[in-house]
Amino acid sequence: MIIKFIYFPLSLHNYKESSSSFEVILYLSYFESRLLANFDNFNDILEKLEFCEKLGIKNVILEPKNNIIAIPLELKSKIRLETKINTLYRINLRLNNSEDFKRRIKHFNNFSDILSIESLNKEVQLRAARDSRVDIVSFSNSELIKTLTPGVISLIKQNNSFLEFSLAPLMVKNKVNQSKNLRNLYRFIQLALKSKVNCIISGNFDDMYDFRHPRALISICYSLLGVPLDRAKKIFKINPISLLERVNRRNTNDFEPQVRLIKGGET
Amino acid sequence: MDLTQNSLLKSIWHSIWRYFGLKEANKIGLWLVELNIDKEYGIIRFSHQTKETIISALSFVREIDGIKVILSPIKTSGTIRSIKSDN
């Protein structure tokens, strides 16, 4: 078996990707489900997207670092003009308690982008897993992942929303922390696989030199986290599409399959 | 950038040993077929059973001789001819 690879030294590489149609991108390529960018600085967004393009990433879900409630349409169209990458958007809420959850979630009725919730508080996690406005309950760092329970997984599964893990904790330099994070990720990913919940695994890397192509992340999932290859590919390819379909369904007010609207008084 | 075949192979082997240990390392049969510094690409050969291991190990290489790098796979093939024809 032979593999060809590119390497990026400090100067950016000038490898060019051939452009593909939107349909091909959507159905044949993998997703980076979480890319943090500073939305106050357009150059930061462009720089990160350019870097992803050079790595060969075709679909990216962008998340603002700053506390923005909605991403302006002008910014979205500006980004679309500047990059070949298929960009989608998500908002992540870091919440401390239930009151905080109730207060902030009401701004997200009929929200057109993906909404994810992160919290160390178990009550908030349970509420988020039950709430149909929440698309993703995220356990993306080493502290959060330890708070995941089978109860939350079960509720996420019932509500058809998504559970998110991130591989960023594996990119720490400290060997002790890295092995602890690997162990935790392995434990909880196995728990999620066993319960057959909808799962998303994202990169969520902060440093640009930690960015990896989703295909490389699939290999990590398979070889180090014990995820079967077909499941790993599904997590990076099909599940993000299902997530987008869920968001679209919410916006078009369609009901879940087998759910019927009963008019008042009808029996 | 001063990237040599030696330093690259050393980093890849280091990554393989660190994450997969002796049991996997002895199955790999790693060869660096080509390293083109100007065009910033390389070609490596290994046992087909260890493809995922190698891709993971390449992903975990973050630094070579103190310089930050990313080794990102762009194509996998069964023959050297087809992989070279894609230049």
Residues spanned by the domain of A185:
30-242
In a domain, A165, yes or no: yes
- pLDDT value of position B40: 87
Tell whether A258 is covered by a domain. no
Q: What is the CATH number of the domain that holds A132?
A: 3.20.20.140
- What is the tally of structural domains in chain A? 1
Q: Residue B46 is part of a domain; what is its CATH number? A: 3.30.70.3250
Model confidence over A119-178: pLDDT tens digits? Answer: 999 999 999 999 999 999 999 989 999 999 999 999 999 999 999 999 999 999 899 999
Phi then psi for residue B52, to 5 deg, are -65, -35
Please count the structural domains in chain B. Answer: 1
Q: Which domain holds residue B36?
A: 5-86
Contact partners, residue A255, CB within 8 Å, separation at least 6: A261
CB atoms within 10 A of CB A20: 14
Q: Does B37 touch chain A (CB under 8 A)?
A: no
Closest Cβ–Cβ partner in B45, B60, B67 for A2: B45
CA B33, CA B31: separation in Å to the nearest integer? 6
Q: How far apart are CA A142 and CA A153, in angstroms?
A: 17
Give chain B's radius of gyration (CA, Å): 13
Count of beta carbons in the 10 Å neighbourhood of residue A9: 16
pLDDT tens readout for residues B39-66: 889 999 999 999 999 999 999 999 998 8
Average pLDDT, chain A: 86
Residue A4 falls inside a structural domain:
no
Angle at A159 between CA A155 and CA A162, to 5 degrees: 85
Distance from C-alpha of A33 to C-alpha of A222, rounded to nearest angstrom: 18
pTM score, two decimals?
0.86
Tell whether B81 is within 8 A of chain A (Cβ). no
Nearest CA in chain A to B85: A4
In a domain, A38, yes or no: yes
Closest CA to A210 of B71, B12, B76: B71
Q: Which residues of B touch A232 (CB under 8 A)?
A: none
Nearest residue on chain A to B53, judged by CA atoms? A223
Angle at A116 between CA A28 and CA A239, to 5 degrees: 25
pLDDT in tens, A204-258: 998 888 999 999 999 999 999 999 999 999 999 999 999 999 988 877 766 666 7
Is residue A2 included in any domain, yes or no?
no
| Interface predicted TM-score (ipTM) of this complex, two decimals | 0.94
